[in-house]
Structure formats: C-alpha cells, structure tokens
C-alpha cells in the first residue's frame, strides 16, 4: 500500500505540526472567515471542523478559501459518503471516532489521509491490520487517560496517536509528554458559543495559549 503509506506520512506531518488541534462545531458558514483569521492570528496552523452541523462542509470550503495556509480537517466522518463529501469540500485530512471496514475501504480507494479513532487494544489491532498506524484515541480522558497510551506503547510501539475527548488546557502537558503522542485535540480553543458570538479575540487568545502549551511540551 505504497500510496497509503505516503498519505499516512503526510498526515503525521500535519499532526506533528499541529501540537493542539481545535475541534470545532460551527453553525453558520458566514463565521468561517473570522474563525480562520482568529486561529491564524493566534498562531495555529491546523484545525478540525466536525461534520455535525449542516454548515460544516460550506464552512470548511470558506476557511480554506480565507486562509489557504491553514490545514483544515473534517471530523466526525462516519460513512464513505461523508468522506467523499469532505474531500470534495477540500479537507486536508479526515477524522472519525471509530473505524468500520466500509470507511477503511473508502479511505484506501480515495487514497485519503484518514485518522480513525480507537479505544481498545483489539480496535487498535484491527486498525493496524487495515493499514493505519496513526490513530485518534477517543474518548481520551474517559478511556483511561495518558496511562492508557503509556501502556499501549509496549505492544504497539509503531503506532502514533492524537488523543481527543475531555482534554482541557490543564491536561495538555501530560499527554504531549508521551513519545507516542503527536498532538492532542480539544474543543476549548474555539467553543461553539464563542464562534456564534464572533468572539475572535477570545478565540485568538485561546489559540495563542495552545501554541504556548505545545511549545512548552516539546521543549
Ligand atoms: C469531540 O468529540 O467533539 C472532540 O472529541 C472534542 O472533545 P472535547 O469537547 O471533550 O474537547
């Protein structure tokens, strides 16, 4: 799976660069330009929109248009159709909470950089067998916290993770200290209500804080 491996490499590069990925729910695509500007102003280079609102696909297109340098992934991908629509909208990467054979097949067919979610060793083994070695760990805090990924490092030494779910700024350092963690995801950087209110200063301030936290963790 040569092409797939190339995509997994570029996915890893995006995630490493990210440090912290804002996981975003957006209700109005008209807010996308302001949001992209606030994230960039704060120094973030990567974001994830979730396909959980009707505005998500249009918002992704608008963010890519407003800030072409910003890598924007589409999360909450559940079906091959979701994956196709997200790619058509210009998603730089795709994120799913879990993995199904249909989704794995679609990712391979489209040569798409998919970050599938896992929670247990058996799910992890299935994802690796399907060709994925860069995985989302979800829901990270509820599923055992950093101790869980520390334990995974022994039997699954080649797998790298992006933990997401319940990770606030106070927990970022504990996760990023793990050698098998590339980045963490969290909704605290750009909360849904702050986007709806157009609180770009607040979001830019959170983004700046995220950049500092990621820098401190890698120092
Ligand atoms: C999500 O599902 O929205 C992400 O995992 C973000 O979770 P969080 O709101 O706990 O950061």
Write the pLDDT tens digit of every residue in 141-171: 999 999 999 999 999 999 999 999 999 999 9
**Residue among 75, 81, 123, 71 nearest 97 (CA):** 75
* Correct CATH for 3-113+168-218 of 3.20.20.70, 3.40.50.11900, 3.90.1150.10, 3.30.530.20: 3.20.20.70
Q: Do you find a cis peptide bond into 22, omega within 30 degrees of 0?
A: no
5, 58, 136, 150: which one is catalytic?
136
Q: What is the reported pTM?
A: 0.94
Separation of alpha carbons 34 and 195, rounded Å: 9
Ligand 1, atom 1, lies closest to the CA of 165
Whole-number pLDDT of residue 219: 81
H or E stretch at 7: helix 2-18
Separation of alpha carbons 198 and 85, rounded Å: 27
Ligand 1 and 23: CB distance under 6 A = yes
Instruction: Give the pLDDT band of residue 5 (cuts 50, 70, 90).
Output: very low
Q: Which of 163, 164, 194, 210 to mutate to test the pocket of ligand 1 (most atoms within 8 A of CB)?
A: 164
Whole-number pLDDT of residue 1: 32
Separation of alpha carbons 213 and 13, rounded Å: 19
Whole-number pLDDT of residue 7: 44
Looking at 89-178, list the stretches that DSSP marks H as alpha helix, in order from N- to C-terminal side. Answer: 101-109, 121-129, 146-152, 172-176
By 3-state DSSP, what share of the chain in percent is helix, strand and coil, each rounded to 5? 50, 15, 35
Ligand 1 and 166: CB distance under 6 A = yes
In the DSSP assignment, the letter for residue 36 is H
Whole-number pLDDT of residue 73: 97
For the question of residue 136 being annotated catalytic, the response is yes
Whole-number pLDDT of residue 218: 86
Whole-number pLDDT of residue 30: 98
Ligand 1 and 63: CB distance under 6 A = no
Q: Which two tokens stand for residue 8?
A: 């997994």
pLDDT at 202 over 80: yes
Give 56-97 pLDDT, tens digit per residue: 999 999 999 999 999 999 999 999 999 999 999 999 999 999
- Residues 44-65 as b/e (b if ≥16 CB within 10 A, e otherwise) read bbbbbbbbebebbbbbbbbbbe
Separation of alpha carbons 26 and 196, rounded Å: 8
Q: Environment class of residue 74 by beta-carbon count within 10 Å: exposed (0-12), middle (13-18) or buried (19+)?
A: buried
Ligand 1, atom 5, lies closest to the CA of 165
**Residue among 109, 111, 112, 128 nearest 120 (CA):** 128
Average model confidence (pLDDT) for the chain? 95
């Amino acid at each position: 799976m040569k092409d797939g491996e190339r995509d997994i490499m570029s996915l890893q590069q995006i995630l490493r660069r990210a440090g912290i990925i804002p996981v975003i729910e957006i209700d109005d695509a008209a807010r996308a330009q302001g949001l992209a500007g606030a994230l960039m102003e704060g120094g973030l280079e990567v974001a994830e929109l979730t396909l959980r609102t009707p505005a998500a696909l249009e918002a992704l297109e608008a963010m890519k248009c407003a800030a072409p340098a910003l890598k924007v992934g589409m999360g909450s991908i559940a079906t091959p159709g979701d994956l196709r629509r997200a790619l058509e909208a210009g998603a730089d990467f795709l994120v799913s909470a879990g993995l199904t054979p249909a989704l794995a097949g679609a990712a391979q067919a489209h040569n798409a950089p998919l970050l599938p979610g896992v929670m247990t060793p058996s799910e992890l083994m299935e994802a690796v067998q399907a060709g994925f070695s860069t995985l989302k760990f979800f829901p990270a805090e509820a599923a055992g916290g950093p101790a869980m990924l520390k334990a995974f490092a022994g039997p699954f030494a080649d797998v790298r993770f992006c933990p997401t779910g319940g990770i606030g700024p106070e927990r970022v350092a504990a996760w990023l200290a793990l050698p098998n963690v590339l980045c963490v995801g969290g909704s605290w950087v750009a909360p849904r209500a702050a986007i709806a209110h157009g609180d770009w200063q607040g979001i830019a301030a959170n983004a700046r804080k995220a950049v500092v936290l990621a820098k401190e963790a890698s120092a």
